[in-house]
Amino acid sequence: MADLRTEEFVVNMGPQHPSTHGVCRLVLTMDGEKVVKIEPVIGYLHRAIEKVCENRTYMQCIPILDRFEYVTSMSCNYVFSLATERIAEMEVPERAEYLRVIMLELNRIASHLLFYGVTAMDIGALTPFLYGLRERELIIDLFEMTCGQRLTYNYIRIGGVSRDIPKEFEPKCREAIKIISEKMADYEGLLNENPIWLKRTKGVAVLPKELAIAYGVSGPVLRASGVQYDLRKNDPYCIYDRFDFDIPVGQNGDCFDRYMLRLNEIRESIKIITQALDGLPEGDIKNKKSRMTYKAPAGETYTRIENSRGEMGIYLISDGGKKPLRVKAKGASFNHIQVLPHFGTNMFIADLVANFATLDVIMPEVDR
Amino acid sequence: MGLIKKVPVYTEKIPGGAFVLTSLETVLNQGRAKSLWYLLFGTACCAIELMCTGASRYDFDRLGMIFRATPRQSDLILVAGTITKKMAPRLRRLYDQMSEPRYVIAMGGCTINGGPFYYDSYAVEKGIDHIIPVDIYIPGCPPRPESLMEGCIHLQEKIKKQKLLDWQEK
Amino acid sequence: MTRQELASYIVEKYGDLMKPLESGKYDPLFVVEVDKLVDIAQKLKDDENLKFDYFCNLCGVDTNENFEAVYNVASITKNLRLDFKVILPYDKAEVESLQSVWPAIGWYEREMWELYGINVKNHGNLTRFLLPDDWDQGFPMRKNWDAPDFKRMPEK
C-alpha cells in the first residue's frame, strides 16, 4: 500500500462555512484526508472601519470600534479610550477605573463562554453550546442593565464611563459570578473526561513556542504554547497591578491546552471581579473634560491591551483636529490566521476544524 | 394518495371523531410556516445574537426554526450581519442554490442599508435588497433576540397568507 | 528597563541612526532613514539588552504631506516596547520588507501596500486580500481618495 500513488486536490472551505467563525475562506490542498497546504483568503468582512474612524470625531469612533471586535466590545471601547487618554494625558476617576476592570473582565468571561460553546459545537458536541450560552446570558443581563445594549455597548468613553451602574448591579453581579464558578465543574465534567473530546484535541495541532513568537501570536494561544506573556501583568494598564491573580500557562500548545487555558482564565477573571467589587470606591465616573465634542491634542501612540483573544492594539495619531488623523486597529486574530498555514498542515481536515476553533479567530478583527 | 387514506386515522383521535375540512393550501402553508429551517449565514455581529436566539434562553426551535449548514436543505436565509462588496456574489450564489419556496430575512441595520457604514465605508454593500429579494427587515444594531423572533413570526404570518401557486409565478 | 531608560539607551547606542520624536506619547518613538531600515531592525532584534523579538503592528499613515510607515515592536524576554517610523515622500513610497527579521510582518506589509499603495520591496507575495478581487478604485486609505458613495464629514 505504501507505494500507492495518490493525487492532490483542492477543497474550498468557506467563506460560508459554519465552523470558520464568520466568513473566512480556506483553500485547502488535500492528499486524501490530509491537509497538505492551507491558503487563507480573507477580506469578506472588510468594512473599512479604519477609514470610517478617520471620518468621525473621537467620541463617534467608539461605537464604530464596537463593531471591530463585537464579542468583546468593551475592550474595543477601552483600548481606544486609553489611547486617547494617553495622548491627552487625561486623568480617569478611581471609580471609573474599577468599573472598567469589572466590565472588561465580565466581557472576557462572556467571550470565553462563547468560545467554550462554539468550539465544542465545531468538534461535534452540541450540549456545551447550550450550557455556555446559558451562563453568558447572565453576564449580558448585567451589561444590559448598565448600558442598555446586549452586544455593542459603547460604555467605556474617553475619560471614564458613560453612566454609573444601577443599585442592583452589585448583588446581581456577585450572584452571576457565583453561579458561573459553580458551573465550571459542569463545563469541565462535560468535556474533560470525554474520550472523544480528548482524542480530538490532545496532541492535535501543536503550535511550537518559537513559531508562535515569530508570528506575533498572542493571548491564550501564545500562553498555551508555554510563554508566560500577559499584558495585564507585563505591560500593566488600567489598575490591573492592584489585583491579585495568576496567569495560567499551558505546556504543550495543543488544542486541549488552548481550551483548558481559557477555562482557567474564567476562574482568574472571577477572582479579579470579586476584588474589584469589594474595592469599588464612590465618586465621579467621568473626567470633567470628557464631552461629546472632545478633541485630543497632537500626538501619537500605540496602545495595546489584553483582550480575550490576545493583544488588541490601536495606533492613534491625532493632529489636534476634530477627527483623528489615523486609527489603526490591530487584532490578535490577524496573526492567528497568518500563522495557520505554518503549523496547520499534515493533519486531517477534521483536526483542522478543531485547530481553527481553538484559535478562537473572529473575522472582523482580521478584516476590519 | 396516502394522506387521504390516513385522514380517518387522524380524525378518530379528535373527540367525536369528526372530520376536519380544510384547503390543501392551508395544510401546505401551515407546514411551511411551522418548519422554517434557516441557513446559518452569520457574517458579523448579528450572528452572535442569532446564536443567542438559538441557545438556551430564547430557544428558537419552538418556532420550528432549526439551523442548517447547507442552502439545499433550508427554506429561509437569515442574513445576519454586514454584507461587503466582496461577499455579495457569494450571498447571491447561496440564494440561488436554495430551492423554492425560499424566504429572506434581513437582520440588522447593515443588511437593510449599510447601517453604521452607510455614509463613508467604501467596502460595504448598502443593503442586501440590491442583491436578493427580502421578505422581512429587522432593524437594530444588532436586533435583540425578541425582535428576531417577532420578525420570524411575521414571516410565518406572511407564509400562511400566500396562495398555492404564488411562488411559481416568480 | 523603564521607558525613559530605553529611550536614552537607544539614543546613546543608535543615536546616529534613530532620532527621537517628540510627538510619541507614552512609549518612545523614533524616526529612521528608509535605506537603513533592515539594518536597524536586525540590530534591535539582536541587541543583547533589547531583544525585540515580537512584532506587534505595522501602520501605514497618510499625513496629508507624506506617507509614513510606523513599526510597533515589543520584546517578550526583556519586556519592552518601542515604536519607530520611516517617512516616505509621495513620489517615492517604497520600503524594504522586514520579513527576514519578523515573519509576522508579512500580512501587515501586504495590507499597507493594498490600502496605501506603499510598495514593499522583496516581499514575495504582494497580492490583494482585503479588497474585492476586481477592485479598480485605487488606494482607499489615502487622504485624497474619493468615490461616489463616499461622503466626507463636514469640517465644521
Tens of pLDDT, residue by residue over A325-342, are: 899 999 898 999 889 888
Beta strands in chain B (DSSP E): 37-42, 66-68, 76-80, 103-107, 136-138
| Least-confidence region, from A11-20, A54-63, A250-259 | A11-20
Neighbours, chain A (3 or more CB pairs < 8 A):
B, C
Residues A62-89 have a mean pLDDT of: 90
Nearest residue of chain C to residue A315 (CA atoms): C59
Q: What distance in Å separates the CA atoms of residue B110 and residue B123, rounded to the nearest whole number? A: 12
Q: Does residue A2 belong to any structural domain of this protein?
A: no
Distance from C-alpha of A64 to C-alpha of C29, rounded to nearest angstrom: 28
Q: Coil, strand or helix: which one is C13?
A: helix
Assess whether pLDDT exceeds 70 at residue B3: no
C-beta neighbour count of B93 within 10 angstroms: 11
Q: Which residue is closest to B146 within chain A, CA to CA?
A: A150
For residues A352 and A342, what is the distance between their CA atoms, to the nearest angstrom?
12
Q: Are strands A156-157 and A34-41 parallel, antiparallel or unpaired?
A: unpaired
Identify whether A138 is part of a domain.
Answer: yes
Give the confidence band of A365 by pLDDT, cuts at 50, 70, 90: confident
* CATH number of the domain bearing residue A275: 1.10.645.10
Specify if A151 maps to a domain: yes
Q: Looking at residues B21-35, what average pLDDT do you find?
A: 83
Residue A1 lies in a domain: no
Domain membership flag for residue A3: no
Report yes or no on A168 lying in a domain: yes
- Taking any CB pair shorter than 8 Å as contact, residues of chain C touching chain B are 131-133, 137, 140, 147, 149-153
Per-residue pLDDT averaged across A47-68, rounded? 88
Q: What percent of chain A has pLDDT over 90?
A: 20
Q: What is the mean pLDDT of chain B?
A: 83
- B-chain CB neighbours of C150 within 8 Å are 120, 122
Condensed to tens digits (0 to 9), the pLDDT of residues B93-130 reads 889 988 888 899 999 888 998 888 888 888 888 888 88
Give the pLDDT confidence of A292-316 residue by residue, as tens digits: 888 888 888 999 999 888 899 999 9
At B154, is the pLDDT very low, low, confident or very high (cuts 50, 70, 90)? very high
Q: What is the pLDDT of residues C76-120, one digit of tens each?
A: 888 888 899 899 998 888 898 888 888 889 899 988 998 888 888
User: C63 and A334: CB-CB below 8 Å?
Assistant: no
Contact yes or no for C57 and A235 at CB 8 A: no
CB pairs under 8 A between A and C: 96
Q: How far is B122 from chain C (nearest CA, A)?
A: 6
**Range(s) of the domain holding residue A65:** 9-367
Dihedrals φ, ψ of C51, to 5°?
Answer: 50, 55
Compare CB distances from C26 to A213, A301, A311 and report the shortest one's residue: A301
Query: What is the reported pLDDT for C130?
Result: 87
Is A163 part of any domain? yes
What pLDDT, on the 0 to 100 scale, is given for residue A78? 92
H or E segment and range at residue A36: strand A34-41
State the pLDDT at residue B10: 61
Delineate the domains of chain C, giving CATH numbers in brackets: 3-90 (3.30.460.80)
Q: For position A159, what pLDDT does the model report?
A: 86
* Distances in whole angstroms, Cα of residue B4 to Cα of each of B9, B11, B160: 10, 11, 22
pLDDT at A32: 83
* Closest Cβ opposite residue A18 in set B40, B48, B119: B40
How many structural domains compose chain A? 1
Residue type, A89: E
A4 within domain boundaries: no
Confidence of residue B16 (pLDDT cuts 50, 70, 90): low
